[in-house]
Amino acid sequence: MGKPYTGPLERVDACRWRIPKTYKPGMRVDGMIYADDVMIQAIKGDQSPEQVANVATLPGIVGQSLAMPDIHWGYGFCIGGVAATDPAEGGVISPGGVGYDINCGVRLIRTNLPRADVEPRMQELVDRLFSNVPCGVGRGGKIKFSRAELQKIVTEGSPFVMKRGLGWDEDAAMTEAGGCLPGARPDFVSKRAYERGADQCGTLGSGNHFIEVQVVDEIYDENAARILGLELGGITVMIHSGSRALGYQVCDDAIKELRNTPRKYGISLPDRQLVCAPVQSPEGERYLGAMCAAANYAWANRQVMTHLVRQTFAELFGGSAEKLGMTLLYDVAHNIAKMETYEVDGKRRLLCVHRKGATRAFPPGHAELPDAYKSIGQPVLVPGDMGRFSYVLVGQAEAMNETFGSCCHGAGRVMSRTAAIRAAKGRSIHRELLDRGVIAKARGRTGLAEEQPEAYKDVRQVVDVLHKAAISRKVARLRPLGVIKG
């Protein structure tokens, strides 16, 4: 992950660290990293703070270049990075600020099943989920879509697959943006991207993607938990996946197509991985249209997997998914760029908000929230590692003031995949997880080793920072019981 960061970090308070815009030529705004005293020492161990400073040089950037406490080194932007640019002021859009897995995101499904009914059958449940939900590198889906249907998917998102009977009417309302970004341009998606995504809608993929069966083991906010339908000892299912090979290809295409665009528009960059284009340019519009299409594919992908999970539970526990109370609590994206309105310098401005490894966290009363959640704020879903915990939080007003309505997206890696595999040599990660009470199943030979708990920060520390900073508020903790991975 490269050499340590040696630039300035000014402590603002117990949760915030500033990189002043005087640090390097070209910085237009300060950088701001959210971390505590312990975490900041680890964060300085790689070049991710340098990436925060580099992002601060992008044309049209407003506010601050931000990094959540799950920050680690990434392509161009750090993972955990947030940046908003103003198109009216020459603001740019950068594929590195979204990432290769466009609209990788998380959704959480409630159930009315108690732990006592599920835990004795956990091995069978994990086996059935592994059988029913395709996972692994290049694995095709069980539900097929024609090329014409794929174009509908990238245009309409999850509502299109729901019309095919692969979801419930209320699922769209409980999905960020209703499961569809309106600016999608299917004609801007390459033939190669369609080919690669042709049979992958409704598949989990590999890497850090997972489906996890969890138990609610701690509640911090009784009122919010009640509104969200979470009860102590209740069973939930978390799905973490994105746009699969289609999204990867959209990003790859854009990075190649935009290679010479900064020079065309007189943009000087400290890192060529920050390749970008003005939002209001043919090149920027082309990437934004293709990215929205990939984002819609990702929402449809998670929706189809929701259908498969509901089917699996219904088969094993009897009755219908409706009878089992398998409603969608929420779905949030964490690799995306969206046009959103914020007040900056006393003016309402339409901004292009990049969230790379960061999740939207709108506060109570926000117009985009479902009516059911208006009083508490948007659910923020923060997966941890498969041996510890995940969290449900809700967005707070301070997020709108400081982070463009954004929060952390997970625990954040502390080990590369190569290092994690090396660290697992001679060990049985499967057995170690069993000793923690977690049944895990992965298709790939190295899947469990790459994603071992020790490869990640402790998510408890990550969410505590943003809870103390009043960016989001803790509602409940979820402990893993069973997990499938690619």
For 114-146, write each residue's pLDDT tens digit: 999 999 999 999 999 999 999 988 778 889 999
- Which run of H or E residues covers position 474? strand 472-485
* DSSP letter assigned to residue 377: -
Q: Which residues of 355-374 are buried (b: 16+ CB within 10 A; e: fewer)?
A: bbbbbbbbbbebeebeeebe
480, 212 Cβ separation under 8 angstroms: yes
Strands 92-93 and 61-72: unpaired
pLDDT tens-digit map of 139-182? 788 899 999 999 999 999 999 999 999 999 999 999 999 999 99
User: Tell me, what's the pLDDT at 78?
Assistant: 98
Q: Which residues are catalytic?
A: 409
Using N-to-C axis directions, what is the helix angle for 282-317 and 244-257, rounded to 10°?
170
- Alpha-carbon distance 16 to 2, whole Å? 24
pLDDT tens-digit map of 414-446? 888 888 888 888 888 888 888 898 999 998 767
Taking residue 348's Cβ as centre, other Cβ atoms within 10 Å add up to: 8
- Alpha-carbon distance 215 to 296, whole Å? 30
What mean pLDDT is predicted for residues 71-96? 97
Sign of the Cα torsion 70, 252, 238, 469 reads positive
Residues 6+ apart with CB under 8 A from 315: 128
User: Tell me, what's the pLDDT at 444?
Assistant: 72
Residues 6+ apart with CB under 8 A from 148: none
- Which run of H or E residues covers position 82? strand 79-85
Write phi, then psi, for 431 (nearest 5 degrees).
Answer: -70, -40
Q: Which class for 97: exposed (0-12), middle (13-18), buried (19 or more C-beta within 10 A)?
A: buried
- Alpha-carbon distance 126 to 129, whole Å? 5
User: Tell me, what's the pLDDT at 325?
Assistant: 98
342, 403 Cβ separation under 8 angstroms: no
> In 3D, which of 346, 270, 336, 259 has the Cα closest to residue 59?
270
According to DSSP, the residues that pair with 108 across neighbouring strands are 238, 330
Strands 61-72 and 31-34: parallel
> In 3D, which of 86, 61, 64, 66 has the Cα closest to residue 78?
66
- Which run of H or E residues covers position 70? strand 61-72
Residues 6+ apart with CB under 8 A from 284: 92, 93, 276, 277, 278
Q: 37-46, 208-217, 395-404, 426-435: lowest mean pLDDT where? A: 426-435
Work out the pLDDT band at 335, boundaries 50, 70, 90: very high
By three-state DSSP, how is residue 352 classified?
strand
Residue type at position 243: S
83, 61 Cβ separation under 8 angstroms: yes
- Alpha-carbon distance 166 to 378, whole Å? 24
What mean pLDDT is predicted for residues 324-336? 98
Domains of the chain and any CATH numbers: 10-485 (3.90.1860.10)
78, 51 Cβ separation under 8 angstroms: yes
Write phi, then psi, for 40 (nearest 5 degrees).
Answer: -65, -30
By three-state DSSP, how is residue 317 classified?
helix
Of the CA atoms within 13 Å of residue 269, those in its CB half-sphere come to: 24
Work out the pLDDT band at 373, boundaries 50, 70, 90: very high
CA 247 vs CA 96, 243, 280, 312: distances in Å: 13, 5, 22, 27
